[in-house]
């Protein structure tokens, strides 16, 4: 039966054995208990003599930072992705279609409107410029009272086979966890894909231009991260900003060079290395700068795209000719995405001259 190994263990332990074995076991238990009590008292109130030993002092400091959680404001979170588990998955999708490029879209569980707009626009075809492109959505756990939402998500995934869900709380301050879980998924489920992109759900993506860009001569096949580059960005210390990061989380006044989180593209050898190196980087809630930090720790830096102007952030006005040339733009709504996409794809040349 299913629980066979669990049942077998207690039974074998309850067998009357030699008395010698019994007493040895009891002594061992006692030692374990003593060790537990000792380490607990040491960590909860480090003895003065402990502080004078450098390595131990360092360790006890680290321990207290990880366990001390402020009741309000940003919390320390653990960004080591293997700590979390996929509760909804499409684990073999890369083994059946071998994509050239995987688009990973972090999205809130309830935001089915954004997912549907993307499915009807830049994710509506798996064949792009002669290459296979796969689009998947990454979700965490909904914080709201789960009124049948999980069941709806299951149905949605049965229909589209494009949802990945992990068991962390899906909140704004947990976006770094979400990104690192995306990296973990790519490394473990899709290692054969040459390229991947993390792209936000409010984006216009000219997928054809991206696939064309990735096939240009000179585009690196490894250690490659590109997008809209951010240099010498100061860390926001004003408490009411969306991007506020306290000094305890990130002490340096500036971030390392990073690519803006709206959409960055990378060679798929990097995700596994990001996950590995994230073990030794203190997490902070700015996911794109965190990836910049991972790059720095790996001794790497982001690369400018062949045509840097193709990665655009905020747009002022839709222009068909311009949208036919760019790769990204941040949009205001899913309606805009569908409207602009339909217009771009209508027959006739997008540019007049
Ligand atoms: C982040 O996710 C973890 C794991 O689910 C959760 O314990 C924590 O409360 C979340 N933090 C925030 C700030 O939402």
**Which tens digits make up the pLDDT trace of 19-75?**
555 666 677 767 667 776 666 544 544 443 333 333 333 333 333 333 333 334 333
Residues 313-350 have pLDDT tens digits of 987 799 999 999 999 999 999 999 999 999 999 999 99
pLDDT given for residue 35 in this prediction: 75
Distance from the alpha carbon of residue 64 to the mean position of ligand 1, in angstroms: 18
How is residue 316 written in tokens? 């002022």
Minimum CA distance residue for ligand 1 atom 4: 168
* Nearest Cα residue to 301 out of 266, 327, 261, 249: 266
Higher pLDDT, 147 or 159: 159
pLDDT given for residue 324 in this prediction: 97
pLDDT given for residue 84 in this prediction: 96
Distance from the alpha carbon of residue 206 to the mean position of ligand 1, in angstroms: 34
Distance from the alpha carbon of residue 204 to the mean position of ligand 1, in angstroms: 29
pLDDT given for residue 204 in this prediction: 97
Minimum CA distance residue for ligand 1 atom 10: 169
Q: Is 119 left (phi over 0), alpha (psi -120 to 50) or beta?
A: alpha
How far is 283 from 279, CA to CA, in rounded Å?
9
Pocket test for ligand 1, best of 69, 76, 77 (most atoms within 8 A of CB): 77
How far is 173 from 73, CA to CA, in rounded Å?
10
pLDDT given for residue 202 in this prediction: 96
In the chain, what is the straight-line distance between the N-terminal and C-terminal CA atoms, in Å? Answer: 73
Residues 79-113 have pLDDT tens digits of 899 999 999 999 999 999 999 999 999 999 999 99
Distance from the alpha carbon of residue 169 to the mean position of ligand 1, in angstroms: 5
pLDDT given for residue 51 in this prediction: 36
Q: What is the mean pLDDT of residues 264-268?
A: 98
Ligand 1 atom at minimal distance to the Cα of residue 285: 13
How far is 346 from 353, CA to CA, in rounded Å?
17
Residues with CB under 6 A from ligand 1: 75, 77, 168-169, 171, 173-174, 177
Pocket test for ligand 1, best of 70, 74, 168, 249 (most atoms within 8 A of CB): 168
Minimum CA distance residue for ligand 1 atom 11: 174
Distance from the alpha carbon of residue 314 to the mean position of ligand 1, in angstroms: 30
Residues 121-146 have pLDDT tens digits of 999 999 999 999 999 999 999 976 66
pLDDT given for residue 134 in this prediction: 98
Higher pLDDT, 247 or 20: 247
Q: What is the CATH number of domain 85-344?
A: 3.90.550.10
pLDDT given for residue 31 in this prediction: 66
pLDDT given for residue 314 in this prediction: 87
pLDDT given for residue 26 in this prediction: 73
Higher pLDDT, 157 or 73: 157
Average pLDDT, the chain: 84
Residues 160-213 have pLDDT tens digits of 999 999 999 999 999 999 999 999 999 999 999 999 999 999 999 999 999 999
- How is 53-117 classified by DSSP, letter by letter? SHHHHHHHHHHHHHH---SSS-------GGGS-EEE--TTHHHHH--SEEEEEE--TT-HHHHHH
Ligand 1 atom at minimal distance to the Cα of residue 172: 14
Where along the chain do its domains lie? Answer: 3-44, 85-344
How far is 201 from 199, CA to CA, in rounded Å?
7
DSSP E strands: which ranges in 142-199? Answer: 163-169, 195-199
Residues 207-234 have pLDDT tens digits of 999 999 999 999 999 999 999 999 999 9
DSSP conformational letter for 341: H
| Alpha helices (runs of H) in 161-256, residue ranges in sequence order | 175-189, 207-214
pLDDT given for residue 98 in this prediction: 94
* Nearest Cα residue to 176 out of 103, 234, 123, 245: 245
Q: What is the mean pLDDT of residues 301-320?
A: 94
Q: Does residue 292 sit in helix, strand or coil?
A: helix
pLDDT given for residue 10 in this prediction: 35
Pocket test for ligand 1, best of 73, 108, 171 (most atoms within 8 A of CB): 171
């Amino acid at each position: 039966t299913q629980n066979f190994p669990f049942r077998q263990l207690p039974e074998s332990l309850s067998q009357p054995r030699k008395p010698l074995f019994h007493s040895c076991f009891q002594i061992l238990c006692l030692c374990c208990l003593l060790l537990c009590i000792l380490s607990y008292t040491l960590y909860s109130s480090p003895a003065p003599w402990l502080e004078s030993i450098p390595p131990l002092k360092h360790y006890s400091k680290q321990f207290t930072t990880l366990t001390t959680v402020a009741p309000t404001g940003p919390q320390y979170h653990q960004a080591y992705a293997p700590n979390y588990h996929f509760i909804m998955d499409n684990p073999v999708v890369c083994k059946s279609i071998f994509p050239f490029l995987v688009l990973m879209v972090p999205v809130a569980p309830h935001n089915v409107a954004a997912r549907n707009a993307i499915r009807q626009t830049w994710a509506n075809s798996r064949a792009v410029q002669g290459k296979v492109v796969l689009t998947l959505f990454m979700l965490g756990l909904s914080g709201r009272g789960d009124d049948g939402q999980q069941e709806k998500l299951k149905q949605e995934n049965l229909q589209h086979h494009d949802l990945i869900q992990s068991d962390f709380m899906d909140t704004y301050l947990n976006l770094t966890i979400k990104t690192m879980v995306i990296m973990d998924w790519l490394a473990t489920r899709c290692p054969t894909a040459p390229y991947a992109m993390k792209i936000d759900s409010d984006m216009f993506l000219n997928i054809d231009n991206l696939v064309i860009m990735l096939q240009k001569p000179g585009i690196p096949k490894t250690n490659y991260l590109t997008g809209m580059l951010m240099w010498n960005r100061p860390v926001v210390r004003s408490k009411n900003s969306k991007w506020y990061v306290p000094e305890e989380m990130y002490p340096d006044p500036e971030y390392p060079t990073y690519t803006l989180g709206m959409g960055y593209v990378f060679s798929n050898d990097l995700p596994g290395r990001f996950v590995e190196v994230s073990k030794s980087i203190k997490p902070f809630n700015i996911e794109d700068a965190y990836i910049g930090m991972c790059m720095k720790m790996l001794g790497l830096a982001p690369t400018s795209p062949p045509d840097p102007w193709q990665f655009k952030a905020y747009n002022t006005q839709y222009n068909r000719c311009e949208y036919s040339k760019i790769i990204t733009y941040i949009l205001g709504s899913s309606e805009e995405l569908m409207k602009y996409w339909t217009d771009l794809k209508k027959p006739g040349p997008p540019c007049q001259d």
